[in-house]
């Protein structure tokens, strides 16, 4: 019986949240800021403007964070959420200006909850 390692490139999941929220009124700007702050509080990091990403050690852990995002959705605007395995994320190419940029490092810290 072959044992599958607990942490491998197909088990680790990246959760990406992309959003386009209105900022026309004071209330809209407040909802935008609150949504963004809650993402950061849940461990998401800005990958690009309005694109936040979070590393999860398993599909189950990613599901927990996806449910949290669903619970904080703002009343207006568009939010798109999807997940990638670490292997899929590895194949992404990042570019800044004329030079190729490297993808963010995988965190070495394990989550305990």
What are the beta bridge partners of residue 85?
Answer: 13
* Pick from 90, 88, 17, 84: nearest CA to 56: 84
Q: For position 9, what pLDDT does the model report? A: 64
Q: For position 8, what pLDDT does the model report? A: 64
What is the block-wise mean pLDDT of the chain (113 residues), using blocks of 10 residues? Answer: 57 94 96 97 94 93 96 96 91 78 65 59
Q: How many CB atoms lie within 10 A of CB 66?
A: 18
Rounded to whole angstroms, the Cα distance separating 6 from 69 reads 25
Vertex 104 angle, CA 56 and 41, to 5°? 50
- Residues 6 or more apart from 75 whose CB is under 8 A from it? 31
Q: For position 102, what pLDDT does the model report? A: 66
Q: For position 108, what pLDDT does the model report? A: 63
Q: For position 45, what pLDDT does the model report? A: 95
Contact 52, 17 (CB under 8 A): yes
13-101 to CATH, choices 3.30.70.240, 3.20.20.70, 3.40.50.300, 3.30.360.10? 3.30.70.240
């Amino acid at each position: 019986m072959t044992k599958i390692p607990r942490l491998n490139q197909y088990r680790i999941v990246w959760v990406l949240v992309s959003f386009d929220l209105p900022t026309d009124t004071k209330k809209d700007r407040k909802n935008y800021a609150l949504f963004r702050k809650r993402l950061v509080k849940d461990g998401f990091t800005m990958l690009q403007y309005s694109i936040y990403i979070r590393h999860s050690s398993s599909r189950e852990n990613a599901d927990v964070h996806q449910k949290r995002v669903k619970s904080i959705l703002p009343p207006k605007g568009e939010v798109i959420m999807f997940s990638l395995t670490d292997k899929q994320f590895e194949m992404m190419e990042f570019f800044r200006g004329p030079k190729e940029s490297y993808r963010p490092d995988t965190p070495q810290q394990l989550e305990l909850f």
